[in-house]
Chains A and B, each alone.
Chain A
Amino acid sequence: SQQGEEDPQALSIQEGENATMNCSYKTSINNLQWYRQNSGRGLVHLILIRSNEREKHSGRLRVTLDTSKKSSSLLITASRAADTASYFCATDGGATNKLIFGTGTLLAVQP
């Protein structure tokens, strides 16, 4: 079974609005990563946050990590139609370094 569960499964917003996606995981981790996938193509790495970090920013992306709750959130600010994609969190499984993906959130940004 997949380690990460994401919420919501689908999200539809208007351009300019913020989008927040949440991820929960089950085991200890060294890091948590977020990826984007456009329409059945390959995944693109967005951001990595380590287990000793609580928040990280990259452009319009903000990621938080709460290891006590085994959860993370991805915030995309001022969304654009081009942000329409599926977003996945992935954890490295701690000692195994095996990258396991969550179920994904399908984001639709309406122009």
Chain B
Amino acid sequence: KAGVTQTPRYLIKTRGQQVTLSCSPISGHRSVSWYQQTPGQGLQFLFEYFSETQRNKGNFPGRFSGRQFSNSRSEMNVSTLELGDSALYLCASSLRMGEGYTFGSGTRLTVV
């Protein structure tokens, strides 16, 4: 079966712009989580959605937002980009929250 698909794979944006990243989970998976990975901070939890509802949220500013659609596909949005937002953004899906996540290959965002 198809894995978790993240688009785009690479993105270069300018400070102050906004960006939307997309994630298509494994068919049947209703939980979708987002993570930010940087060399300095490691893997940081952004948020998790289950059945279109945000169930958990990490310690990120309100510039970071997300949503989940009825087909479980998810998007995350970052507004007013800062240089420090440059990172690998990973999406993961699972059947049940908290267990056995399958990760996508990530979107590498560079803010210049």
Contacts and interface: CB of A to CB of B under 8 A. Distances in A.
Interface of A: 2, 30-31, 33, 35, 40-45, 48, 88, 92-93, 96-104
Given A40-B88, A43-B90, A44-B103, A97 B98 contact: yes
Interface residues of B, number: 25
B105 interface: yes
Given A41-B106, A42-B90, A42-B105, A92 B99 contact: yes
Interface of B: 4, 33, 35, 42-45, 48, 55-56, 58, 88, 90, 92, 97-106, 108
Contacts of A103: 42
22 contacts: A2-B42, A2-B43, A40-B108, A42-B103, A42-B106, A43-B90, A43-B101, A43-B103, A45-B100, A45-B101, A48-B99, A92-B99, A93-B98, A97-B48, A97-B55, A97-B97, A97-B98, A98-B48, A98-B56, A99-B98, A101-B43, A104-B43
Contacts of B33: 99
Contacts of B55: 97
B99 A31 contact: yes
Nearest to A92: B98
A5 to B, nearest CB: 11
